[in-house]
Amino acid sequence: MEIITSIEKMQKLSLKFKREGKKLGFIPTMGCLHEGHLSLVDLLVVKSDILILSIFVNPTQFGEGEDLEQYPRTFEEDVEKSKARGVDIIFAPKADEMYEFGFSTQISESNISNRLCGKSRPDHFNGVVTVCTKLFNICQPDFVSLGQKDAQQVAVLKKLVNDLNIPLSIEVGEIIREHDGLAMSSRNTYLNHDERKDALVLSKALDLAKSLVDSGCNKTNEIKEELGKLFKSVSCARVDYVEIVDSETMEFQRKVLSENSLLMLAVWINKVRLIDNRLL
């Protein structure tokens, strides 16, 4: 396995592979790899001639006061895990090469991005789509895999790829959970012992919603009301949003469920913001 930090070197190599007719797989990450990321490696390792995983904590997708500085960096472990799972190249560019002095280009998606996490984190998705476009241009992937945990990010990036005619296909890996149900996330490392327990309220909420649906409830407001009660019962939990949306368009479903109803949660556990989701 090779580790590349130079943008120019990575891009030259990718273009060479493409000229040779090789199929390239790509997984964009911010490092601190867990089983969620590694399941995305598994998705692509078979079908890719070359599998590239990027590790880049992208400053432009963090807002003011967010956790850019404290975001966990575990490069050596990430390298070991990637190697063991079959990654061919780790691409780890430097921020000042990705964003040279005078950088002045931004991509924005103005529909799906404007709600849910996009409302709580203004400019977040602008940062995501801009850096991903750069990474796609550098790494030239045929396949990209993304985790369903960031469901809105998946929807936004699918829209980006479609609108800008980027020639790649996106594969979505299911949410990987700890044994007790907590969705894996690099931000789980911020939780202390008590918060870790309280954080289970997210996956419990997903289960509660599913059981309500199974017992015949199809009114979105009723489901949201029940979940509201559950979150209120956990003192350190503060809801950012609880919404039921169309899984592709992320449009709010205000009345009844449809086939594509996706329950989306963003909840603060004290100072740690966690997200989770489930098809209903």
Residues designated catalytic: 37
> Which residue, 104 or 235, has its beta carbon nearer to a copy of itself?
104
Closer to a copy of itself by CB, 53 or 138: give it.
138
Strand, helix or coil for residue 139? helix
In angstroms, what is the minimal distance from the CB of 4 to a copy of itself? 14
**CA distances for 179 relative to 145, 161, 176, 183, 184, angstroms:** 23, 34, 10, 9, 10
Contact 114, 25 (CB under 8 A): no
For residue 155, the minimal CB distance to a copy of itself (Å) is 11
Nearest-approach distance from CB 124 to a copy of itself, in angstroms: 16
Binding site for a copy of itself (CB under 8 A): 7, 11, 15, 18-19, 21, 100, 102-112, 129-130, 133-134, 137-138, 140, 159-160, 162-167
Q: From the CB of residue 101, how many other CB atoms can be counted at a distance below 10 Å? A: 5
Cβ neighbour number for residue 50 with a 10 Å cutoff: 21
Structure tokens at 140: 């030239």
- Judged by beta carbon, residue 21 or residue 216, the one nearer a copy of itself is 21
In terms of CB distance, is 103 or 194 closer to a copy of itself?
Answer: 103
- Closest CB to a copy of itself among residues 70, 114: 114
User: Across the beta sheet with 237-246, what order do the strands follow?
Assistant: 237-246, 261-269, 272-279
How many CA within 13 A on the CB side of residue 256?
A: 5
Q: Which two tokens stand for residue 107?
A: 């991509």
Report the SS3 class of residue 56. coil
SS3 39: helix
Specify the DSSP element, H or E, that contains 263. Answer: strand 261-269
Q: Which two tokens stand for residue 137?
A: 């241009």
Tokens, residue 53: 């995983």
Closer to a copy of itself at the Cβ: 32 or 161?
Answer: 161
Cα Dmax for the chain: 59
How far apart are alpha carbons 24 and 21 in whole angstroms? Answer: 9
